[in-house]
Amino acid sequence: MKTQLSVIVPVRNQAEQLIPFYYELIKFLPESHEIIWVNNASEDATDAEIEALSVQDNRMIGINLKKQSGTDAAVMAGLDYATGEYIIIMKGDMQHPPSMIAPILSALQNGFDIVNTSISNKKRVPLLTKWMMDGCYALLKKYHATELIEDLSELRGFKKNVVNDILFIKEKYFFPGNYFNWTSYRSTQLHYKSRNTDIENIQYTFSHLKKLSREVLQKGLPGFLKTGLVLGSVICIASLYFIFTFLYAFSKGNPVPPSALSLSALVFAGGLQIVVYSSYKKKIKEELFRLCSSHHYTIKNIIH
């Protein structure tokens, strides 16, 4: 029987929370499912708890990583072993409510490729602060080649075709770090209430704005892309100057060689092409040129 849903749960040092989370989780899972625990080199009895659960439930896989890796690596390990038609990624520390599985799965079954989530019950933000911050983020997005994502939860769902694309790119030694915002997929966003009622809305803090501004300045238009954008702009401006000069001279009855006007137009077109290439090449670089160091992991053993 084909697996309908794979739930990937990265865990680290969560031995005390793992069993309560498991019994809460299975209340909301469809009959055809698998649970993939990715133990990120825990120093407590997390691996023993996973092994104990696997004895009583054969619909789960435990992946013990040999050394501590980042969240991307743990998620990638789970994706490598997921067989479900739909995949949901969630934390095992009880911060992501298992009750969200049903609405996420429903959205995926109704045509969406990616389902993102965010927390709805964060601290209220003063209206003036919100307006100011939103204005700043809008300005940053004008100077950044990719969509900026702020304050999304790590709880999200995918269709299998999205995962297949991620794994294909990984095999080419690249990792799409921002895969949950690929514009080629149909996506939606759901909201849920966190058990932590005092959680801060990070998006509307000056520390987050400062960090994001620094990243945009440092990474927005790096290296040759920045050079190409500047060079292309200079070529466009210079060629436009000559084009208008020639047209002005022609309007005054002065002879203008057709070849000079044609050459200026061709130079303008070339400069414009450089600008467009430099701007949109950044999108490709951001999505595909993240080297595989971000998803490296080493498996210690697998529990079935």
Q: Quick one: average pLDDT of 259-281?
A: 80
Question: Between 46-56 and 15-25, two packed helices, what is the crossing angle to 10 degrees?
Answer: 30
How would you classify the pairing of strands 5-11 and 86-89?
parallel
Q: How many CB atoms lie within 10 A of CB 262?
A: 10
Residue 282: pLDDT band (50, 70, 90) is low
CATH 2.40.110.10 fits domain 5-121+151-195 = no
pLDDT value of position 291: 44
At 8 the pLDDT is 96
For helices 71-81 and 160-171, the axis angle rounded to 10 degrees is: 110
Alpha carbon distance 220, 281 (integer Å): 12
End-to-end distance of the chain based on CA atoms, in angstroms? 17
The CA distance from 156 to 178, in Å, is 13
pTM: 0.66
Average pLDDT, integer, range 8-16: 92
Of 136, 269, 255, give the one whose Cα is nearest residue 204: 136
**Domain assignments of the chain as residue spans, ordered by start:** 5-121+151-195, 223-288
**Between residues 102 and 205, which one has the greater pLDDT?**
102
What pLDDT score was predicted for residue 148?
Answer: 56
Q: How far apart are CA 297 and CA 302, in angstroms?
A: 13
Determine the average pLDDT of the residues in 12-41. 92
pLDDT at 175: 41
| pLDDT over 90, % of the chain | 27
Percent residues over pLDDT 70 in the chain: 79
How confident is residue 304, by pLDDT bands cut at 50, 70 and 90?
confident
Structure tokens at 32: 């055809």
Give the number of other Cβ atoms within 10 Å of residue 52's Cβ.
Answer: 14
Average pLDDT, the chain: 80
Q: Take residue 163 and report the two structure tokens written for it.
A: 């995962």
In sequence order, the 6+-apart residues with CB closer than 8 A to the CB of 164 are none
SS (H, E, C) 134-152: HHHHHHHHHCCCCCCCCCC
- pLDDT for res 25: 94
Q: pLDDT tens for residues 57-98?
A: 889 999 999 888 777 788 888 998 999 999 999 988 888 999
Identify the band that residue 201 occupies on the pLDDT scale cut at 50, 70 and 90: confident
* pLDDT tens readout for residues 124-164: 778 887 888 888 877 777 666 455 555 678 899 999 988 88
